[in-house]
Amino acid sequence: MTEQQDCVFCAIVAGEAEASVVHADDRVVAFMDLGAVTPGHVLVVPRLHAVGLEDLDEDTSTHVWRTGHRLGRALRRSGLRCEGVNVFLADGEAAFQEVFHFHLHVFPRFRGDTFRINADWATRARHLLDAEARLVRRGLAAL
């Protein structure tokens, strides 16, 4: 896929929009999130426009995640408050994706920060897990 009109991340990648870049190479650009969850919140964005997982080739995706891993390690050494790290992907509107250019969030966590994901963390019955596993295996086979 190529650059998309009106995509803020494509504009950042092209150098047409302002960003505080922490890493750039031939496949990705990583920059500070303007709407940071915590100080040090970084976004890793592929240079090629891809809306989500379905639009991104596995090699580029692997590079995005590898870069995110390195950035998470870097945050722990950065001097920023960092007692833990979240690596977060929002793929699709139902998953809270707001900018429809694939991007990986990497941000430091610390006791008392305000980021929360509220969910029902109840234990699922084994027969339900087994049925869901069969469906995921079917999905893998369809790739």
Query: Are residues 108 and 81 in contact, defined by beta-carbon separation less than 8 angstroms?
Result: yes
Question: Is 90 exceeded by the pLDDT of residue 4?
Answer: no
pLDDT for the residue 5: 81
> Tell me: the pLDDT tens digits for 27-79?
999 999 999 999 999 999 999 999 999 999 999 999 999 999 999 999 999 99
Question: Is 80 exceeded by the pLDDT of residue 91?
Answer: yes
| Bridging pattern class, strands 84-89 and 42-46 | unpaired
> Tell me: the pLDDT tens digits for 5-29?
899 999 999 999 999 999 999 999 9
Q: To the nearest whole number, what is the mean pLDDT of the chain?
A: 96
Question: Is 70 exceeded by the pLDDT of residue 111?
Answer: yes
pLDDT for the residue 68: 98
* Cα(42)–Cα(103) distance, integer angstroms: 10
| Bridging pattern class, strands 42-46 and 21-24 | unpaired
What is the full DSSP assignment across 22-91?
A: EEE-SSEEEEE-TT-SSTT-EEEEESS---SGGGS-HHHHHHHHHHHHHHHHHHHHSSS--SEEEEEE--
Q: Hunting for tokens 């500070």 — which residue is that?
A: 32
Residue 1: name the closest of 80, 58, 57, 83 by CA. 57
What is the value of pTM for the model shown? 0.92
